[in-house]
Structure formats: C-alpha cells, structure tokens
Structure 1
Amino acid sequence: MSDPDPATIWHRFRTEAQRAVSESTWHIWLERVGFRELAGTTLVLEAPDDVRSWVETRFTRLLNALAETVIGPGARVDIVGPQEQVEIERPRPEAQRAQIAQELNPRLTFDQFVIGDCNRLAHAAALAVAEMPGLAYNPLFICGPPGLGKTHLLHSIANYVHEHGAGLTARYTTVEAFTDHFVGALKDGGMEAFKAAYRGVDVLLVDDVQFLQSRAKTEQEFFHTFNALHQAGAQLVLTSDRPPRDLEALEDRLRERFEAGLVCDVKPPERATRLTVLRKRVAQDDVGDIDPQALELIADRVATNLRALEGALIRVVAFGSLTGRPVTPELANEVLDGLYPQLKPKVRSVKEIQEQTCAAFGITMDDLLSSTRTQPVAFARQVAMYLSRELTDVSLPAIGRAFGNRNHTTVMHACKRTAERIATDKDAYEAVRKLTRELGGE
C-alpha cells in the first residue's frame, strides 16, 4: 500500500482485530489499545500499563498478522506504554508531521446508537450529514453535557462516510489533538503538511470545541481551517458542552460561524432510553443472565450520563462474576452504593446547595463566595460547586457566576479536586455523602 493514510489503516486494523477475537477478550484486553502513529510499515500502538504486558505476551503474533493483512507484507506492530517515547527508524521522517493520528471506534455506529426524545433531533441531523456531507446542515453543532452521546454521533458519521461515502474522507479529532498537532507543526516547520491533513478532507469532525477558548493561536488556525473547508463545500460537525452563545471567551467571528448552521442539543436520557441502552449493551456483550429488575435499578440510580450508565453496568456484572453471585437488584444496589454515591437525581437549586453546604461546614454565605482559600472554606466551596454540578442542570458558566463570578474552569477544577478527595479520604467521602443525602440526592 503506497502512501497509506493512518486514519484508514487504524480503522481497518481495529475492525479486523475486533473480528478476530471473542467479545469478552476484546472488551477486557484489546479495546483500550490505542493508535500512537504509523512509522513506515510499523504500526505503533499504545496500551495502558495494566494490560500492556498481557497484550504483548498473548496477542503480538495475532496483531502482527493483522498488520500484514491491512498494511502489507513485512508490516508489524510495536506496543508502547502511555509515557514511553517511540524510537523507530522511519524511512520517511517528514511523513510523521503529515500524519494526523485519529482513533475511530467501529462499535460507535448509527445502528448502535439508542434514540430517545433526549437526542432524536441530534441523531437525525447527524445521519443526514453522513448521507449528504456538505449539503444537509453545514456546520452541524451538537451541544450538551459530557456522556450523552455526542462523541458516539461523531464516530458514527465518520464510520458511515468510510463505509458508504464512495471514496469520501472523514477525519475525527478533538481540540486537544488539533492543538497538539498544530504546536508540533509550528516547532517542526510542518505547517503545510498540517494544513493538508485537516483541510484536505471531505468531512471534519471536531470534539470539545469549548477548549478552543483562551488559545489564541490555535483558535486563529482553526478559524482559517473552518473557512477553507466551508468554502470548499466540505462538511463540518462540531461538539461542545454548551451552545455557541455560551462560549463567551471565543472570538465573535468563530462563534457566529458555529451558529450559522444547525445547532441541536442532547439532553440527559429519560428512563426508557436508559433501560434500552442497558438492554442493548447486555445483548451486545452477551454477559449472561441478569435480573431485569437489576437493570431497572441501575437505570434509576445513574440517570444523567450514558457513559456512567454503561460503566455502572460493567462494574455490577464484573463484581457478580468475580464473587460468583447472580446479578440481582441487591447486588446492583450494593455496588452502586460503593462506586456511584455521587450519581443521583438532580433536584436542587444552586442556592439551596450553597445554603446547605454553609450549614454543614459552619461558614457564612459571604465566606463561601469570597476569594479566601483557607480551609475549611476552600474545601466547602469546592464541595458546593461539585454538588451544584451533580444535583442540578445548571451549566458550568452559570455555576461559576453563582459563586462570585468565577470562571467555568474554576468549577471544573473544584469538581475534579472534590472527586479525587472523596475517592481517597474517608472523612471527606462521608461528609459529601451525608450532605448529598440531606439535599435529597439519594
């Protein structure tokens, strides 16, 4: 294969690997293996530290055979860790700058997407775009909180175009990856290759465009990329955790372009959709007998995030398998109590959460909204922000404004710090759990 496109190579390789092993083997060992780069005829794969040794020992021969099938005779794989530097002799050093690493999950297709009232418009728009790139809605902007299927729709579009697009090319990326490639191209003098990689496609799908904010040079380059593609009639599909009008730190000219096409949102799934997702995952993975009431309990307990919903199912099934116990409502409740205490129905206002947090920590509202970073005020503020995100439907920017006009990134940091602390500090865990219960969150 001459001048192979790494996106196509990885898509074909991953599809063949999934077909070559059992469903359980794929999910346990190979699904988390990712693409690092294509260096000549060497496919460099990245495996998490906890599975890398086993993958190298048990699957290297299979993966090398698949590499020869997809790339050609003499091709091989090299498996590295997340932090490991790759040292491979490359026949064409300049090719690395021209190649844009991307990972398409062949499991994320329109057939596997569960449609409900929460996402019906977004799904219909995404399918229309996949069938008629550049003609239906351009750009298509899908917004909503994390874990509700936005990335699934992007992968579905790309997979559909690769399968049915009659030679059309689709490229999926995140803003983080786009930024990394852009910075690398600036340092290495590879801007022409960078531009060709992003502007020479028929469909460009970009995840998490909210992270373009406050990155002036990257934002400018993305603006020019957007214009070049749009003027050439190429399709653009973008996702964000909020609508364009709430991307306050973004330049007006780019925000206006995002709003010029179709803007549609995805919402937290209703109970029927959550149950369908769980049943479909059970049937797809063939995980054995599960009490239907256990699925109903999981659907009731994990109500706002589809990614967390599937994660809860996997953990419950794994716990049952490891302990030799049937998957019953009692088992599901036991696992969820220990692993998902924070995932409860959102029933409170930010002000109620602030007042309850002040009472629990013995501080005043002025203290909570102040700029002081002393303990316990700082931790109380982080907990209040964390609960505001978990127990309400208020956006991150709005939460920040409610806490003394703080930036949404401050809210994200507070949520991360709180989640880390309750995972390692038993006292903090109990304090947050008690406060959650008092707020009606469990």
Structure 2
Amino acid sequence: MDNGRARRRISSVYGLQRGWARMEGLWSAALPLLRQQVGERNFNAWIEPIHCCRSEGEIRLEVPGPFFQQWVTRHFLAAIEETLGNLGEAQPAVRVVVSSEQRQVSPRPPVPAPGPAVSKGVRASTGPRIGRLVAHYTFDNFVVGEANRIAVSAAETVSVEPGKRFNPMFLHGGVGLGKTHLINAIAHEMLRRRPRLRVACMAAESFMNTLISSLRQDQMNAFRDRFRQVDALILDDVQFLAGKERTQEEFFHTFNALYGAQKQIVLTSDKPPAVINGLEQRLRSRFEGGLIADVHPPTASMRVAIVHAKAAQHGIELTPGVVQVLVERSGASVREIEGALNQVLATAAVRDIEITTELAESVLRPLTVDRNRISIETVQETVSGRLGVRVVDMTSHRRGREISFPRQIAMYLSRTVAEASFTRIGEKFGGRDHSTVMYAVRLIEARRSSEPSIDQILAGIESELRQIAS
C-alpha cells in the first residue's frame, strides 16, 4: 500500500471530515495518546466514558454526572487540552459538560482497554468467565522472539493442558512487555478449545476490590464459591497484593483450593516472587512452586516486527525509514512502541499528510529522554527496583556478584543516561575512584554488544527511566 492510500486509510480510520467530523476526528486521534499519558486505569475509568458531542467552534465533552465533571476538569482537562493542541493546527476550545441525558455511569474498575477488531480468522472466545478479555490479545498476533520465547511456549502449553503442566505459572517482566497480552491469549485459547470452561481472568486489584465489596456486604460465602469453583484463575499484576494481609489470606486459601483440585493458576507481576516486598512467605513459596518465566524487553529485530504488526492492524504499510525512527525513538516496551505509532498515525491523519521519515522524527522528538531530569539517585533507585538489590548495598563495598553486577549496571546508566562524570558517579557509589567507574562502564558496554540478555535488561531499565523523565 503506497503512502497516498495509507493516508486515505488513516483518515478513514479516524473519521476525519470537515467541520464537526474534524472535531470528532481530533478527539478520536487524541484517545490513544491520552491512554499513554494518563495510564490504563485512569483512561478506562475517566477518559473512555467521555462522549464528544456536536458543538460550534469548540470540542464539547459530555460526562455522566456532576462529580465526574469536577474530577475530569480538575485532574485531566489540562492533559486533554495539551494533547488536542499538539494534534491540531490551533489550540481548540474544550468544555466539559454533564450529559443532558444524565447517564448515571460510575467510573468502572480498571480493565484492559479495548483494541482494534479481531483480525479475520480469529474468533473471539465465548463462554462463562469472570473478568473481561481483550478481543485482539491472542497468540496469533503476539510477536515471538528470544526475549519471550520460553514464556510464550509455556503459555501455549498451559492453554492446551490447563492444570496438568506448569501449575502455577508465574510470568514476570517490566511494564508494557506483553504479559497482559499473553494471559489474555491463554484465556482465549482455553475457551476456544473448551467453550464451557470456567475461566477467571482479571487484574489482582479487581480481585481485591471484589473481595472488599464482598466483605462489606457480608457475602464472603458467595465470593468463595465464585472463585474456588473456576477451572482457571488468571490474575494480572499480583504485586498489588503485597501488604494487603486480608486479601493475601483469602487468596492463599483460594490458591490452595484450586491447586488441590488441579485447576490452572496463572499469575503475572513486574518482578519475580522473591523480590516482591510485603508478600507473605507462604504465598511466595507457592508462587515459586511452579514455572517462573520472565518476559524481557524485545530485541531490535523484535521491535521492528512489532511495528509492522501494529501498523498492519491499521491497514498501513510503513517505509523502512519510518519503521527505523519508531524503533529508535519509541523505547523498549511494546506499549511504548504502540503509543509512538499511534501518535504518528494520529498526527498524519489530523494534518492529512503522508507518513514520512521527517514526520515521524518531528512527532517523536519530544519522546526522547530529557537527560537533565535523570539523576544518579534516580538511576540507582530504578536499578534497585528492577534487579532487586538495595541502593545501600550498591553503594557499599560488598563485592559479591549479586551486588557487583547491579552496581556496574547502575554506573553504566549513570554515565550513559544521566551523563554524569566518572568522578561524580564514583562519589555517589560509596566514594569509589573514577577508574573503577570507567572499568564498569567499559565492561557493561562490551557485554551489551555481545550478550543479548544484557542488552534486554538495559533496554528495559532505559525504558523505565524514559517514562520517569517524561
């Protein structure tokens, strides 16, 4: 598909016409960017229910009620205006009003955002389940590579033989690397093979909210019957259970009941069980009793494949130059890549111009890391959280490999991302000599170029630092 046809296709996708249709198209183009800016939970709870209405000379956003109006105006209006301003040629007037129909819609619990329609040949699964599945999160459109091959293979096995192998299955990795996609794919495949299977697939936070609601309404027996009779329990982001004693207590017994009945349990987290602070030891030991698979940031070749796959969902074929810009400037996570692509497509659609390398470069320039906003302390804290080593240990004079490797990683990033001097870095790492820092930086540079696993670790941390900077 040439650029002219691609441009017409984007305009069709976003419904860009003159007058009112252009305003509605501007709002449609802003939605994926707002999802990236405010986060998945805020987007689903507060932005998605907004209805863009016909109005002369302004963008009129209708919300369900007065409280909703106050909350959106106070917390999200500035982000909405900024996003719309970046897309349009002039800053549009935005007004948040209560719907004339007074729709009594409460903010929904966070759920995965709906995406494009399922491609031909992929049938959305049906059947009894708890939670909401993302229709297009299937194995068919998941990009597989060295960074996630083991996790995908295990996920496919679990979906074919639930409860028999790899039980429990624990997936961990950084934000936006495809864990939610994988667990949705597992649920879809289970239901495709056995439509009457009872599958619960939801965020751990939703599980906790359901528990709290059941406690308040004195309906714990119904809660236990509901969750302990499923054939598969799939919980996303179980790190949110940390420190919640009552929730962990109930989940412990639910886990035991399902495991004893040979029902499948699949869990995800941003870190392995061993380094989830506030997680009870009895739960930690059960999480570690099955298969633990990590999902790394995608390699360079995988990022190229992801860009092509996401563009294909929009019916767009990108030039190699545009793909290269997206890969280089969007960050390491799948979510960042998709967000960058959406921003380029939206800008091209709103301005009714071709998707060129120059356009991609101009649109994505603001996404590059603002290195002046990244401090050595920020690098240390980020590496600490990602690799499970305390900052106090990294700055100590302990020499064990479990400490020295994260320390070298943090020194390398302090130099390449924070752009601190060797002397300054040495001071922040326990008063070490600058030659020690130079050795660490050169060592990690060499290992990064020769070991894909090191490159993936660094890419993930750099992605997190980029999010902090923005």
Q: TM-score range by the shorter chain?
A: 0.5 to 0.7
TM-score, with structure 1 as normaliser = 0.62
Q: 1:404 to 1:105 in 2, by over 3 A?
A: same
Equivalent residues of 1:389, 1:396 under 8 A apart: no
For residues 133-172 of structure 1, the aligned pairs below 5 Å read 133-172=162-201
* CA–CA separation in structure 1 for the residues paired with 2:393 and 2:332: 22
Equivalent residues of 1:125, 1:137 under 8 A apart: yes
Structure 2 counterpart of 1:291, from 294, 319, 323: 319
Equivalent residues of 1:161, 1:169 under 8 A apart: no
Alignment deviations for residues 214-273 of structure 1 (CA, whole Å, 9 cap, x no partner): 111111111001001001111000011111111242111111111111111010110111
TM-score, with structure 2 as normaliser = 0.58
Equivalent residue, structure 2, for 1:53: 51
DSSP 3-state at the match of 2:51 = helix
Percent same amino acid among aligned pairs? 33
DSSP 3-state at the match of 1:326 = coil
Q: CA deviation at 1:211?
A: 1.6
DSSP 3-state at the match of 1:142 = strand
* CA–CA separation in structure 1 for the residues paired with 2:196 and 2:54: 35
Equivalent residue, structure 1, for 2:107: 82
Equivalent residue, structure 1, for 2:58: none
Q: 1:120 to 1:191 in 2, by over 3 A?
A: same
Q: 1:403 to 1:264 in 2, by over 3 A?
A: same
* CA–CA separation in structure 2 for the residues paired with 1:238 and 1:49: 28
Equivalent residue, structure 1, for 2:100: none
Structure 2 counterpart of 1:310, from 338, 361, 365: 338
DSSP 3-state at the match of 2:268 = strand
Equivalent residue, structure 2, for 1:324: 352
How much is the aligned-residue C-alpha RMSD, in angstroms? 4.1
Q: CA deviation at 1:134?
A: 0.3
Q: 1:176 to 1:56 in 2, by over 3 A?
A: farther
User: Partner letter of residue 178 of structure 1?
Assistant: F
DSSP 3-state at the match of 1:107 = coil
Alignment deviations for residues 269-321 of structure 1 (CA, whole Å, 9 cap, x no partner): 1011111011011111114x532211112112234211111101111121122
Q: CA deviation at 1:394?
A: 6.2
User: Partner letter of residue 53 of structure 1?
Assistant: H
Listed as ranges, the gaps of 5+ residues in structure 2 are: 1-11, 16-24, 33-43, 56-102, 110-127, 397-413, 422-440, 442-461
User: Partner letter of residue 269 of structure 1?
Assistant: P
Equivalent residues of 2:321, 2:357 under 8 A apart: yes
Equivalent residues of 1:171, 1:204 under 8 A apart: yes
DSSP 3-state at the match of 1:80 = coil
Equivalent residues of 2:308, 2:318 under 8 A apart: no
* CA–CA separation in structure 2 for the residues paired with 1:257 and 1:47: 33
Q: 1:133 to 1:250 in 2, by over 3 A?
A: same
Equivalent residue, structure 2, for 1:242: 271
Equivalent residues of 2:130, 2:199 under 8 A apart: no
* CA–CA separation in structure 1 for the residues paired with 2:394 and 2:104: 46
* CA–CA separation in structure 2 for the residues paired with 1:303 and 1:319: 19
Q: 1:228 to 1:283 in 2, by over 3 A?
A: same
Q: 1:294 to 1:159 in 2, by over 3 A?
A: same
By relative contact order (CA 8 Å, sep 6+), the higher-ranking structure is: 2
Listed as ranges, the gaps of 5+ residues in structure 1 are: 1-21, 33-45, 58-77, 85-98, 345-359, 361-379, 406-431
Q: 1:126 to 1:393 in 2, by over 3 A?
A: farther
Q: 1:167 to 1:281 in 2, by over 3 A?
A: same
Equivalent residue, structure 2, for 1:395: 386
User: Partner letter of residue 232 of structure 2?
Assistant: V
Q: CA deviation at 1:437?
A: 5.8
Equivalent residue, structure 1, for 2:97: none
For residues 130-279 of structure 1, the aligned pairs below 5 Å read 130-279=159-308
Q: 1:81 to 1:308 in 2, by over 3 A?
A: farther
* CA–CA separation in structure 2 for the residues paired with 1:387 and 1:309: 22
Equivalent residue, structure 2, for 1:350: none
DSSP 3-state at the match of 2:296 = coil
DSSP 3-state at the match of 2:348 = helix
Equivalent residues of 2:45, 2:108 under 8 A apart: no
For residues 304-383 of structure 1, the aligned pairs below 5 Å read 304-341=332-369, 383=375
Q: CA deviation at 1:157?
A: 0.8
DSSP 3-state at the match of 2:143 = coil
Equivalent residue, structure 2, for 1:104: 133
Q: CA deviation at 1:325?
A: 3.2
* CA–CA separation in structure 2 for the residues paired with 1:129 and 1:55: 46
Q: 1:160 to 1:100 in 2, by over 3 A?
A: closer
User: Partner letter of residue 262 of structure 1?
Assistant: L
